[in-house]
Chain A
């Protein structure tokens, strides 16, 4: 799980062009949206693409996205549970 979390942090920085942030700067339980990492709606779409491209997981229900993309840990848990 810890390896997946660290890998996800690197993938998020790369996929979202977060050049001002290092993977290690992202708190595992910090909110990805709002006051946390401050991602926007386009970033949310990029995260969906990331899950699809890198893990073969698609999200059909937008409401699920709110839970899955709450933090890096929730993303990792979703991947682990569905891969």
Chain B
């Protein structure tokens, strides 16, 4: 079985790219890129405003993917696997939670985002995708592991499609690289080289 990359999405440096074409660019000096992207997409999803930045970033990346590939939202509810990775986990929310604890009263709304895999949950709830999911955290990006894990899910029929990549957000800096991976003879082959190249773009 050949696994190919059928959609690319990247967010960072004040822009959003889908399939390597810029689909949104914020003006230089813009603040809160994620809200600007939300306003551009206008998904009418108020829960977005309650999410932390890591969840907002992952949510928006998948929203752009579904906008490009609307048929994904019609998939069987266990057809799509979500496989993400980052290095800083949910550090932004962790820090805010710690600051609140230091002051004496912690906000439940902050506390619930002190786990990175909440990103997966927010995307799953939004899209009604209840298949395989994982959010790996490590001190260094492990592209090989991400590729092996995603391939294993699809080759073992645990999922038909993988949305896989890196989601990192801290102190207003956002980095998202997501791919849609599935069985196909077209597109770049999904492997360590192609994923590494995409991350470096």
Contacts and interface: CB of A to CB of B under 8 A. Distances in A.
Interface of A: 16-21, 38, 42-43, 45-46, 49, 52-53
A52 B105 contact: yes
8 contacts: A16-B109, A17-B49, A17-B50, A19-B46, A20-B49, A42-B108, A43-B109, A49-B108
Contacts, number: 28
Interface string B46-63: 100110000000000000
B112 interface: yes
Given A42-B109, A45-B108, A52-B105, A16 B50 contact: yes
Interface of B: 46, 49-50, 105, 107-109, 112
A46 B107 contact: yes
A38 B112 CA distance: 18
Given A42-B108, A46-B107, 14 more contacts: A16-B50, A16-B109, A17-B49, A17-B50, A18-B46, A21-B46, A38-B46, A43-B109, A45-B109, A46-B109, A49-B105, A49-B107, A49-B108, A52-B105
A38 B107 CA distance: 19
A18 B47 CA distance: 9
Contact of A46 (B46, B49, B108): B108
Contacts of B107: 46, 49
Contacts of A42: 50, 108-109, 112
Contacts of B46: 18-21, 38
Contacts of B109: 16-17, 42-43, 45-46
A53 B46 CA distance: 25
Contacts of A43: 109
Nearest to A38: B46
B105 A53 contact: yes
Nearest to A45: B108
B51 to A, nearest CB: 9
Contacts of B112: 42
Nearest to B45: A20
A48 to B, nearest CB: 8
A4 to B, nearest CB: 21
A53 B112 CA distance: 19
B34 to A, nearest CB: 12
A15 to B, nearest CB: 8
A9 B109 CA distance: 18
Contacts of A49: 105, 107-108
A18 B49 contact: yes
A38 B50 CA distance: 13
Nearest to B46: A20
